Amino acid sequence: MTNYIVVTGGVLSSLGKGITSASVAALLRNSNLNVSMLKIDPYINVDPGTMSPLEHGEVFVTADGGETDLDLGHYERFINATLSKRNNFTTGQVYQTVIERERRGDYLGKTIQVVPHITDEIIRRIKMAGKDADTLVVELGGTVGDIEGLPFYEAIRQLKHQLKSRVFNIHVTLVPYIAVADELKTKPTQHSVQELRRIGIAPDMLVLRSEKPIPKEMKRKLSDACDVEPNSVIEAIDAKSIYEMPLKFYDDGLLKPIAKAFDLGDLKPDLREWKRLVKRILEPSKEVIIAFVGKYLELKESYKSLIEALIHAGAHNDARIKLKWIDSEAFESQDEREVLGGCDAVLVPGGFGSRGIEGKIKAIKYARENGTVFLGICLGLQLALIEFARNVLGINNAASQEFDKGTKEPIIYLIDEFIDQSGDRQIRTRQSPMGGTMRLGEYECNLKAGTLLAKAYGGVEKIYERHRHRYEANGRYREAFENAGLIVSGEAKGLIEAIELRDHPWFAAVQFHPEFTSRLQDPNRAILAFIENALKSKSSA
């Protein structure tokens, strides 16, 4: 008997439906309820896996290898839970499933229509996502009135009709502030609710996004105009940190109407640890400067999980993480000491394609030669190997097959080649429609005892982290690397998963994406160690 909380948005996009949904789920989770979450994306892409980071932001990877919307990252970080492919679906997936069934003859020759076939598939997927939960929080992407969203709104209407009081609708809207008139305006919210009701959905709660506090009389006005109970008009004022929102929502009474609707009694979430960590985010006693050498800086959400993971590690170290954004392409022609000299650590994140690669290699070389704390992630590990091969081993033409298909020194090469040579076909890959294969999802990694990474993870022998990459480190060079002081600290099935420098304060790189498993209350150990050592290096300078 799952209860469903459906979060929709109106007026415009980027109002914070994802954070609202995650905050509601966090409050319920900390009230000892079994909560899960679902993101519905109305775009026609099957998943965001082939979309540019500059188009859609980060592609979040689930443990079971799903390439999903970045909001799933927020969900996992807020409710401290592991989600799966079934917690995100798109228009493309819905239509693909229905068309495949039609081709198999499952519909017995019937005419396939949006209602009931598409809406039935949407409802089936929603119920499947909520199967094992007390409450499923469903976020519907886009804005009410969008053409591509109409089948989903119809499905939500039908779900409410089927389950009655077990469905609770939250509508997030904008209450804009007009500076010239010095007024907050309610009309956009009223029109948004009118459009929602025209579709057949009546909101049970309004969450009002605003840059200024909303007066009580304005809340009462919206309550009357939108036919919503007065205590179900909740404000969402701009906050310094997204992690403040569950606390702000709780203080504004958000849980009370939900608890009443679902007959849950008086919910009292345990928010003591959450408050302690938020206080450290807002009022830290220390600060550390990280050089973030990336290539998708036009849209910072391309690195959303990594940014949040750094915040988590900072909170647990009582430190503010100050990022110095460095465009790797521009850095190729800049003076490295001038740009990196004032930074406490260097971070080279993942990415695809050849643009800006030499700038990243230049930053890695600086960190290696100057004893600067360094962490490389995915592509960052691959480039650390190439830099070491060129500048320490003397292999001047060391390269990756990703950037130089015909290289004679393939330090990095395609997964396909590794599988063909080793005969090990247990490695889970996904055939990419753009060509090649990709290693996706969670894999085990065996850590070498006594290494930086083993210490970071508390001395365990085996960890599980998530991957999203097409190329691997070439094991043929391993002996030469280790003889020269670059040791393999993590591996799995013969694949190089992590490396570090023997004679360096703290220099590590990993093939996996540690940021995908970091949560506010449980930061990833590799990133936590990176920040701890950056602070240590700063204090000893």
Domains of the chain: 3-276 (3.40.50.300), 284-412+472-540 (3.40.50.880)
Q: Catalytic: which of 378, 387, 445, 465? A: 378
pLDDT, tens digit (0-9, with 9 covering 90-100), for 278-287: 999 999 999 9
The model's pTM is 0.91
Alpha-carbon Rg for the chain, nearest whole angstrom, is 25
DSSP lists the bridge partners of residue 40 as: 89, 140
pLDDT value at 430 more than 80:
no
Q: What is the pLDDT of residue 415?
A: 65
User: What type of residue sits at position 447?
Assistant: L
Q: What is the pLDDT of residue 434?
A: 35
Enter the DSSP assignment of 59.
P
445 is annotated as an active-site residue: no
Q: Determine which of 104-118, 165-179, 414-428 has the lowest per-residue pLDDT on average.
A: 414-428
Q: How far is CA 450 from CA 126, 147, 454, 489, 500, in A?
A: 46, 57, 6, 9, 12
Local structure of 501: helix, strand or coil: strand
Local structure of 170: helix, strand or coil: strand
Q: What is the pLDDT of residue 540?
A: 74
Q: State the Cα angle at 203 between 201 and 207, rounded to 5°.
A: 140
The Cα 139–Cα 538 span in angstroms is 42
Residue 8 has a CB neighbour count (10 Å cut-off) of 26
Q: Mean of the per-residue pLDDT values for the chain? A: 92
515 is annotated as an active-site residue: yes
pLDDT value at 419 more than 50:
no
The Cα 452–Cα 503 span in angstroms is 12
pLDDT, tens digit (0-9, with 9 covering 90-100), for 377-390: 999 999 999 999 99
Pair of tokens at residue 105: 């003859």
pLDDT, tens digit (0-9, with 9 covering 90-100), for 200-230: 999 999 999 999 999 999 999 999 999 999 9
Tell me which range, 349-363, 425-439, 522-536, is most confidently predicted by mean pLDDT. Answer: 522-536
Q: What is the pLDDT of residue 421?
A: 41
Q: In what order do the strands lie in the sheet with 88-90?
A: 88-90, 35-41, 135-140, 3-9, 167-174, 205-210, 233-237
Cβ atoms 379, 467 nearer than 8 A: no
Q: Catalytic: which of 497, 500, 515, 532? A: 515
pLDDT value at 99 more than 80:
yes
**Alpha helix (H) ranges present in 245-356?**
245-251, 255-261, 272-282, 304-316, 328-331, 336-340
Report the number of secondary-structure helices (H) and strands (E) in the chain. Answer: 20, 24
Q: What is the mean pLDDT of residues 44-50?
A: 84
Q: What is the pLDDT of residue 432?
A: 37
The Cα 162–Cα 119 span in angstroms is 13
Q: Catalytic: which of 117, 171, 467, 513? A: 513
DSSP secondary structure string for all residues of 258-281: HHHHTT--------HHHHHHHHHH
Report residue 47's pLDDT band, with 50, 70 and 90 as the boundaries.
Answer: confident
Pair of tokens at residue 323: 């990022």
Local structure of 2: helix, strand or coil: coil
Q: Determine which of 121-130, 258-267, 404-413, 515-524 has the lowest per-residue pLDDT on average.
A: 404-413
378 is annotated as an active-site residue: yes
Pair of tokens at residue 130: 């909520």
pLDDT, tens digit (0-9, with 9 covering 90-100), for 442-496: 999 999 999 999 999 999 999 999 999 989 999 999 999 999 999 999 999 889 9
Q: What is the pLDDT of residue 416?
A: 61
